[in-house]
């Protein structure tokens, strides 16, 4: 854990501590999204793989897919034709 001192005007000094374990996308960039592919065996109900904004596939508003599930989604769409 990393802690940094901070000055709080009118209050004094405090510390901000972070675990330093930011989620990363498979490409190495910081992840700001999680995969929304349905996975019934997971407690959350979705894949939740970390994804960055450049690597996401968004099949619908507010839905993001990791690369693996983006491929699965394309196969699913082809099967419906």
Model confidence over 21-73: pLDDT tens digits?
A: 778 999 999 999 999 999 999 999 999 999 999 999 999 999 999 999 999 99
> Which comes out higher in pLDDT, residue 58 or 8?
58
> What does the pLDDT read at residue 12?
87
> What does the pLDDT read at residue 11?
84
Give the tokens for residue 55.
């690597």
Q: Are 2 and 29 in contact (CB under 8 A)?
A: no
DSSP-derived letter for residue 42 is: S
DSSP-derived letter for residue 59 is: S
> What does the pLDDT read at residue 17?
79
Confidence of residue 1 (pLDDT cuts 50, 70, 90): low
- By three-state DSSP, how is residue 14 classified? strand
Give the start-to-end residue ranges of the domains of the chain.
Answer: 23-79
């Amino acid at each position: 854990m990393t802690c940094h001192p901070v000055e709080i005007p009118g209050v004094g000094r405090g510390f901000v501590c972070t675990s330093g374990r930011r989620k990363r996308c498979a490409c190495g960039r910081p992840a700001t999204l999680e995969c929304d592919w349905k996975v019934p065996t997971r407690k959350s109900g979705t894949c939740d793989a970390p994804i960055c904004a450049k690597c996401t596939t968004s099949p619908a508003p507010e839905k993001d897919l990791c690369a693996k599930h983006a491929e699965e989604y394309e196969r699913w769409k082809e099967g419906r034709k």
